[in-house]
Structure 1
Amino acid sequence: MGESIVVVSGKGGTGKTSFTASVGSALSLLGKRVLCLDCDIGLRNLDLALGLTDRALMDFTDVALGRCTLEEAVVQHPRMPNLYLLTAPMGMGRQALTGADMYRLISRINKTFDYCLIDAPAGLGSGFRLASCAADRAVVVTTTDATSLRDAQHTVMLLDGQFPQNRLHLVVNRVRKKLLKGLHATIDDAIDTAGLPLLGVVPEDDALPICLGRGIPLMLSDSSLAAVAYRNIAKRITGARVPLMRIK
């Protein structure tokens, strides 16, 4: 059986979708069979981050409601054959999904893939609850600014009863160069504020918007600090012991 990991944030702009695409790509390059599931209904853009723009014809609601099979709906990446996308609908339509529908969908996915990374919508509304209800593990993505850390803390409070402590992790994303000298203090503050074990730190990287504009996943571009960080996080997810990268 595979494992499903929901990627969440209390607010937008934390780089959650880039994280999902990059860590999913990194896991696939480690030989794992990976599905990236976009649960951001109406605002889906995981396909852009993966370089799979407009390739999907069916979405996860079609699978969950029995309108097609999982195999018919997923899109295989042309350059990373272990990586697949299952996109979100442009709108929910008349028949909304229930938690039971989501449990059946994730159960089906876990039987086929080693890992499913679920890109939850930003915020803490019904879309967040639907995306997280059937996941095995959760990653809270935050930046170092005070509002993001406060929102991360609220997110943790909502998820705390659902996930054991060793199944709920923090990633500090988009760490800017001018903050690197005080990195340890900043990260310590983030850990204390969120109250979660740290899965990884990802530096701000100009390669990300460049790759997005070109439709190229970051993990297929030239080596960058962010790419190294994502690879390290992917290895930790598989159980490997990898020290935090030194950011100079």
Structure 2
Amino acid sequence: MTSPGQCIAVASGKGGTGKTSFTAGVGAALALSGRRVLCLDCDIGLRNLDLALGLSDRTLMDFSDVAQNRCSLELAAVEHPKIPGLFLLTAPARPHGRPVTEIQMADLLREVRRRFDFCLLDAPAGLGRGFQLATCAADRCVVVTTADASSLRDAQHTVMELDRFPSGALHLVVNRVRKKLLRQLHATIDDAIDKAGLPLLGVVPEDDALPLCMNRGVPILLADGQSAATAYRNIAKRLQGERVPLLRIR
């Protein structure tokens, strides 16, 4: 009997941390390593995970259709045409009907675990309804922050809302690290770890290729030589239990 998949929420206290690009990049890296991966957008009304994955206009049904039994998961999850094993289940474009409950989301994720090795749930910024749905039944959570003080403070607040997760199930990613911060990198990262109170899963450099890839509808993992892509691959390896040194940002 195969073990069930893992559902990992990706959260941030504020917008602009690069959380959606992170979800798409790590999801693609996991799929390219041979895993069956579902990226689930929980940002109702403001969804853009489809853009980050290069799957814009390919989705017809959303997670509320599956959670409320209007459509099967098999039909609603759209596979990437260039990355076998990578699927997207999008959020509703607008609220409609009754909101999805946490019980319905938990039931949906039980089915997801049977069908996929990993599910990455892209939570909206902030601590509202979408955040609660993304985290209510996840197995682990990654808190994405940047190195600036306001982002670190919001990461602290986010961690306080995630106290139901046991030790070892919460992780920190410091995203969008710029080269000009290299001399302060170690102090900045140590400060981030201390303030958020979480073990560090990875450091991702700022990469100008990300917006270019999103505008072209091409996942950055398919664009060779990009520094963020290397960081995503390393984080995907860590999520699978491998020991990988932190990326040296040049």
> Please, what TM-score do these two structures have when normalized by structure 1?
0.99
Q: Give the structure 2 partner of residue 179 of structure 1.
A: 181
Q: Distance in 2 between matches of 1:230 and 1:57?
A: 28
Deviation at 1:127, TM superposition (A): 1.3
Deviations 1:203-245, CA, capped at 9 Å, x for gaps:
0011111111111000000211111111000000000000101
Q: Distance in 2 between matches of 1:28 and 1:130?
A: 24
2:107 to 79, 99, 104: 104
Amino acid at match of 1:208: L
Q: Give the structure 2 partner of residue 195 of structure 1.
A: 197
Deviation at 1:94, TM superposition (A): 2.3
Alignment of 1:60-99 (within 5 A): 60-99=63-102
Q: Distance in 2 between matches of 1:247 and 1:16?
A: 19
Amino acid at match of 2:66: V
2:213 to 199, 211, 214: 211
Deviation at 1:92, TM superposition (A): 2.2
Q: Distance in 1 between matches of 2:215 and 2:106?
A: 35
Q: Give the structure 2 partner of residue 113 of structure 1.
A: 116
Q: Is the 8 A contact 1:4 1:115 kept in 2?
A: yes
Structure 2 gap segments, 5+ residues each: none
The DSSP-based 3-state class of the residue aligned with 1:196 is: coil
RMSD between aligned residues? 0.6
Deviations 1:171-209, CA, capped at 9 Å, x for gaps:
000001110111000000000000000000000011111
The DSSP-based 3-state class of the residue aligned with 1:40 is: coil
Amino acid at match of 2:28: S
2:242 to 237, 240, 243: 240
Q: Is the 8 A contact 1:211 1:217 kept in 2?
A: yes
Deviation at 1:100, TM superposition (A): 0.4
Deviation at 1:81, TM superposition (A): 1.0
Deviation at 1:36, TM superposition (A): 0.2
Q: Is the 8 A contact 1:6 1:118 kept in 2?
A: yes
Q: Give the structure 1 partner of residue 25 of structure 2.
A: 22
Q: Number of paired residues? A: 247
Deviations 1:26-49, CA, capped at 9 Å, x for gaps:
000000000000000000000000
Q: Distance in 1 between matches of 2:232 and 2:97?
A: 38
Q: Is the 8 A contact 1:15 1:174 kept in 2?
A: yes
Structure 1 gap segments, 5+ residues each: none
Q: Give the structure 2 partner of residue 131 of structure 1.
A: 134
1:4 has 2:22 as partner: no
Q: Distance in 2 between matches of 1:238 and 1:73?
A: 26
Deviation at 1:97, TM superposition (A): 1.0
Amino acid at match of 1:24: G
Deviations 1:131-169, CA, capped at 9 Å, x for gaps:
110100000000011110000000001102x11120000
Q: Distance in 2 between matches of 1:8 and 1:61?
A: 20
Q: Distance in 2 between matches of 1:130 and 1:29?
A: 27
Q: Distance in 2 between matches of 1:153 and 1:225?
A: 27
Q: Give the structure 2 partner of residue 169 of structure 1.
A: 171
Amino acid at match of 1:35: L
Deviation at 1:16, TM superposition (A): 0.3
Q: Distance in 2 between matches of 1:227 and 1:66?
A: 36
Deviations 1:53-93, CA, capped at 9 Å, x for gaps:
01000000000000010001010000001100000001221
Q: Is the 8 A contact 2:32 2:84 kept in 1?
A: no
Q: Is the 8 A contact 1:165 1:196 kept in 2?
A: no
2:230 to 228, 231, 237: 228
